[in-house]
Copies of this chain bind each other. A is one copy, B any other.
Amino acid sequence: MEASMKEKISNKTKEIEAIIYRYLPEETGYQKTVISAMNYTMKAGGKRLRPMLMDETFRMFGGTDRSLIEPFMAAIEMIHTYSLIHDDLPALDNDDYRRGRKTAHVVYGEAMAILAGDSLLNYAFETAAKAFDGTSKDIQTAKAFRILTRKPGIYGMIGGQTADVEGEGHPVDIDTLLFIHENKTGALIECAMMIGAVLAGASKEEVSEIEMIARKIGIAFQIQDDILDLTSTAEELGKPVGSDEKNEKNTYVSLTGLEQSRKDVLRYTKEALASFDGLSCKNDFLRELLLTLSSRKY
């Protein structure tokens, strides 16, 4: 990635964080502890990729109403964050650290971490519901809401998560692995970009096209993740490498080999970008961002 793109992303991340932070609940009242645990994890950093993809897709299709898109941007980051809190729990991945910070259950205890995850998932929908304003715009917002409720659920992210948990410790076939990658990682990327398109008033066909583009980028992103876990140094990646092997995770690399994996990342990326270039509207930053995601080095 060239330096200017890195800087552009970093600036966007800051802008998006400022937006998201405005939607975080105040740490007060009898429920203060669970809110602290929510906010602690929401403030743990990261590129804010999902709200970034949502916002850029919204802009590409000519969306301008910030009161519509911003609650959904905060909501999708809350959903992503709840999934991290629950993933890190002792009964699941049992991770004590994430991005160099102690995870929620280490700081707040397991009971509070479970409740904080539940709270963030629930609060995501409560936050997105702020976009309803009692006018006929609600018809369009409801469409975005349907996507926000579907993609993170059993027919999306949690579906992938379930198959992943069940697949641990024994080999799975390539179809199962693709299902996991498409859903565990891909579903929220699809969700983000589709909502951006819907809220900007994109046509049904355009939203379908965006879904397909997002799916391919999501798969490429996840295969690249598997590659990096094997080939990067811990320093480059900013987290321990080789953890997939250690945890006996099925990865695209372990099933198809490194050579084939690299080829497939390229193929999925190319296909996604070809569809993207066929859209009637443009967003050069978004194009570059999609390319960066699937060819990243860390």
Contact = CB atoms under 8 A, between A and B. Distances in A.
Contacts of A159: 29-31, 34
**Residue among A122, A163, A179, A180 with most chain B CB within 10 A:** A122
Chain A interface, >50% SS class:
helix
A155 B165 CA distance: 32
Interface string A138-174: 1101110110011011110011111101100000000
Contact of A158 (B115, B160, B161): B115
A40 interface: no
A153 B119 contact: yes
A26 to B, nearest CB: 10
Given A31-B159, A115-B165, A142 B138 contact: yes
A273 interface: no
A230 interface: no
**Residue among A30, A89, A110 with most chain B CB within 10 A:** A30
**This chain's copy number in the assembly:** 2
A86 B114 CA distance: 8
Nearest to A142: B132
Interface in A97-141: 109-112, 114-115, 117-119, 121-123, 125-126, 128-129, 132, 134-136, 138-139, 141
Contact of A112 (B25, B114, B125, B165): B165
Given A111-B92, A134-B143, A159-B29, A154 B34 contact: yes
Contacts of A180: 30
A13 interface: no
A111 B91 contact: yes
Contacts of A143: 132, 134
A73 interface: no
Nearest to A137: B139
Contacts of A68: none
A82 B114 CA distance: 12
Interface in A37-53: 38
Interface in A14-34: 25, 29-31, 33-34
Contacts of A121: 118, 121-122
Given A117-B118, A138-B138, 4 more contacts: A86-B115, A125-B149, A126-B149, A132-B143
18 contacts: A31-B154, A31-B158, A31-B159, A91-B110, A114-B114, A115-B161, A115-B165, A118-B118, A119-B153, A121-B121, A122-B149, A122-B152, A122-B158, A125-B149, A128-B149, A129-B142, A134-B139, A138-B138
Interface of A: 25, 29-31, 33-35, 38, 82, 86, 89, 91-92, 109-112, 114-115, 117-119, 121-123, 125-126, 128-129, 132, 134-136, 138-139, 141-143, 145-146, 149-150, 152-155, 158-163, 165-166, 176, 179-180
